């Protein structure tokens, strides 16, 4: 494995340790607890500065503007089914070579080998169900409901039941681009507008 491939795999392992599934869920919020940071939203919202290389690229849509293409949704659901049953190799083959991948806490990764597309799928510790899909240009915007998954790399833990959002570009029956979107599309737009321009 060349140094570039090792760095992609190492970056995925590091991001996995830091971010895990990164889903959101408000079901664990104790609204009687008024201490700072309890998640009730009663405190002033503190904004974190996200480094430019970790932000979702500006050209990737944040929300659906119409219906999703049935052919794209079919590929996404088949990929999720393979991942959920622990068939990581099969799930990996739904990603094109080359393809792009960005999860929470990673820059956009360029997936150019079999090892890299397997590593990307191994980094997704949760399985998921596509709860809602919509289209935005060539992309499919997906609201995932996270579930436990079996097999290598599985271990969703407290992420089970949470939601996550993604923008996925499917072409020719394969995933060409996969981006983990911020949980709140309105906040993502505000962050993008307030970010300094290059």
Report the CATH number that the domain containing residue 119 is assigned in CATH: 3.10.450.50
* Residue 35 resides in a domain: no
* Residue 42 resides in a domain: no
* Residue 137 resides in a domain: yes
Angstrom distance (rounded) from CA 4 to CA 119: 13
pLDDT at residue number 49: 78
DSSP β-bridge partners for residue 174: 171
DSSP β-bridge partners for residue 144: 130, 164
Angstrom distance (rounded) from CA 134 to CA 143: 9
Q: Which of 145, 139, 152, 146 is nearest to 179 (CA)?
A: 139
* Residue 58 resides in a domain: no
- Other Cβ atoms within 10 Å of 152 Cβ, number: 13
Please give the average per-residue pLDDT across 177-186, as a whole number. Answer: 87
* Residue 11 resides in a domain: no
Q: Domain count of the chain?
A: 1
* Residue 121 resides in a domain: yes
The conformation of residue 24, written as its DSSP 8-state character, comes to B
Region at 86 (left for phi over 0; alpha for psi -120 to 50; beta for the rest): left
CA–CA distance from 113 to each of 6, 98, 102, 120 (Å)? Answer: 11, 7, 16, 11
* Residue 155 resides in a domain: yes
* pLDDT tens digits, 131-156: 999 999 999 999 999 999 999 999 99
* Residue 83 resides in a domain: yes
* pLDDT tens digits, 74-124: 999 999 999 999 999 999 999 999 999 999 989 999 999 999 999 999 999
The mean of the pLDDT values for the chain is 81
* pTM score of the predicted model: 0.74
How much of the chain, in percent, has pLDDT values that exceed 90? Answer: 63
pLDDT at residue number 194: 44
Handedness of CA 193, 65, 174, 25 (dihedral sign): positive
Handedness of CA 154, 173, 74, 111 (dihedral sign): positive
Q: Which domain holds residue 70?
A: 2-6+64-184
């Amino acid at each position: 494995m060349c140094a570039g491939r090792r760095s992609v795999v190492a970056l995925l392992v590091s991001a996995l340790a830091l971010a895990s599934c990164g889903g959101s869920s408000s079901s664990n919020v104790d609204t009687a607890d008024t201490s700072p940071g309890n998640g009730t939203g009663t405190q002033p919202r503190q904004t974190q500065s996200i480094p430019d290389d970790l932000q979702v690229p500006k050209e990737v849509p944040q929300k659906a503007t119409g219906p999703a293409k049935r052919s794209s949704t079919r590929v996404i659901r088949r990929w999720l089914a393979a991942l959920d049953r622990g068939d990581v190799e099969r799930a990996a083959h739904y990603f094109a070579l080359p393809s792009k991948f960005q999860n929470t806490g990673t820059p956009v990764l360029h997936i150019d080998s079999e090892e890299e597309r397997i590593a990307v799928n191994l980094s997704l510790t949760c399985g998921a169900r596509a709860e809602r899909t919509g289209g935005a240009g060539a992309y499919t915007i997906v609201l995932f409901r996270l579930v436990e998954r079996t097999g290598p790399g599985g271990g969703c833990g407290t992420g089970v039941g949470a939601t996550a959002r993604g923008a996925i570009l499917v072409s020719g029956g394969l995933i060409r681009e996969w981006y983990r979107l911020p949980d709140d599309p309105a906040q993502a737009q505000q962050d993008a507008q307030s970010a300094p321009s290059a």
